[in-house]
Amino acid sequence: MTTSRATADDLLRLDQQICFSLSAASRAFNGLYRVLLKDLGLTYPQYLVMLVLWEHGELPVKKVGEHLRLDSGTLSPLLKRLEAAGLVRRERSARDERSVEVRLTEKGVALRERALQVPRRIAAATGLGLDDILELRTRLDSLTAALDTAALEGAQDPEGLP
Amino acid sequence: MTTSRATADDLLRLDQQICFSLSAASRAFNGLYRVLLKDLGLTYPQYLVMLVLWEHGELPVKKVGEHLRLDSGTLSPLLKRLEAAGLVRRERSARDERSVEVRLTEKGVALRERALQVPRRIAAATGLGLDDILELRTRLDSLTAALDTAALEGAQDPEGLP
DNA sequence: CGTGATTAAGTTGTGTGCAATTAAATTGTG
DNA sequence: CACAATTTAATTGCACACAACTTAATCACG
């Protein structure tokens, strides 16, 4: 037990650095988006929803959730706020009354024009070139896929390791 | 107006991919930690606090917040929960009665032994080698620094761009 | 010494994020 | 057709994050 103590300690310290770095980066992004989106009256998750709607026009709540990996527990109140802000309308689908269609209002469509400047500012703030950004995105996506797989597998102890 | 439309559209789509990738990765990590930490009875932010305390032993709330970039609005209730779980004690400093010292209990110290296995599982789940992990950490840290600087500068429109 | 500025925690309010549950509609199957 | 299983939103409850504010203690400076 004493023999592997030093290594385990190192891992614990390393882990602190890794998980901290990730959550710090995430919150730093969030903070910058908060500043940039303040004028638009949007939060960062609300902006993500609007991006999806700007691209697809009209979608059931379910599809919005699939695009963003968010469930109805998060989306329902968020969409209510967007509706209260006059940016979207929610209507029960006539074809399938379980489903609720989310549709942009004129005001919601119009907001897109003002949002067009956001990505440029974000890109500038990262201090990274387009290639670096794309590479980072690729890395993050494969990391996400790996983490999801591990979580689904119940996160058993990795086999074959001491 | 029509001339730059396509480019701005592309940027908006690109932005969707980048910001989504980051928040998705962050939440995927969170989800895996949730699974791994369930046995320990800790949430991910609580685990971060415990890591800091395991390394430093005893710290005022202020210092914990500096290590993790969290303010008292987040830490006060979190520390109360850790105290209710019997993992830490909070005591007003005798030297400076504005300050509250957070100290591990015996139970809190003991929990460290069970936490030692977490980083190994996380590392295994990422599917990355130690070098890749360290490089990713470096990238994320510099990204965080850049984003913080931009946010502090009020996120003015980047100069010299159309 | 006294008073205004500063600092440290805590509190309040808003907005996610997610698990668990509920309610309603649809689908599949005998 | 009837009825169980599934699907879709919504709701509830808990735990962050963070802004804005409050309270209490300390500091700084005349």
Strand C reaches within 7 A of the A96 CB: yes
- What was the pLDDT predicted at B3? 47
B158/A35 touch (CB, cutoff 8 Å), yes or no = no
Q: How far does the CA of residue A138 sit from the closest CA of chain B (Å)?
A: 8
- What was the pLDDT predicted at B161? 44
A140 chain-B contacts, CB cut-off 8 A: 21-22, 24-25
CB proximity under 8 Å: A 32-61 to B: 32-33, 35-36, 44-45, 47-48, 51-52, 54-55
Strand C reaches within 7 A of the A74 CB: yes
CB proximity under 8 Å: B 100-119 to A: 112, 115-119
pLDDT in tens, A44-64: 999 999 999 999 999 999 999
- What was the pLDDT predicted at A129? 83
- What was the pLDDT predicted at A3? 47
Residue in B closest to A160 by C-alpha = B124
Tally of helices (H runs) and strands (E runs) in chain B: 7, 3
Q: In the Cβ-directed half-sphere of B36, how many Cα atoms lie within 13 Å?
A: 29
Rounded to whole angstroms, the Cα distance separating A12 from A1 reads 16
Q: Across the interface, which of A121, A146, A149 has its CB nearest the CB of B158?
A: A121
Q: What does A89-121 look like in DSSP terms, one character per residue?
A: EEEE-SS-TT-EEEEE-HHHHHHHHHHTTHHHH
Q: Please indicate if any CB of chain A lies within 8 Å of the CB of B73.
A: no
Residue A44 burial by CB count (10 A; 0-12/13-18/19+): exposed, middle or buried? middle
- What was the pLDDT predicted at A154? 58
Which 8-state DSSP code applies to residue A59? E
- Sheet order of strands, B88-92 included: B58-60, B100-104, B88-92
Helices A44-56 and B5-37 sit at what angle, rounded to 10 degrees?
130
- What was the pLDDT predicted at B7? 66
Does position B6 have pLDDT exceeding 80, yes or no? no
Q: Which tokens belong to B29?
A: 């990590």
Rounded to whole angstroms, the Cα distance separating A78 from A72 reads 9
Which positions on chain C have an atom < 7 Å from some protein CB?
7-13, 15-20, 24-27
B6 chain-A contacts, CB cut-off 8 A: none
Does position A159 have pLDDT exceeding 80, yes or no? no
Mean pLDDT, all residues of chain B:
86
B128/A143 touch (CB, cutoff 8 Å), yes or no = yes
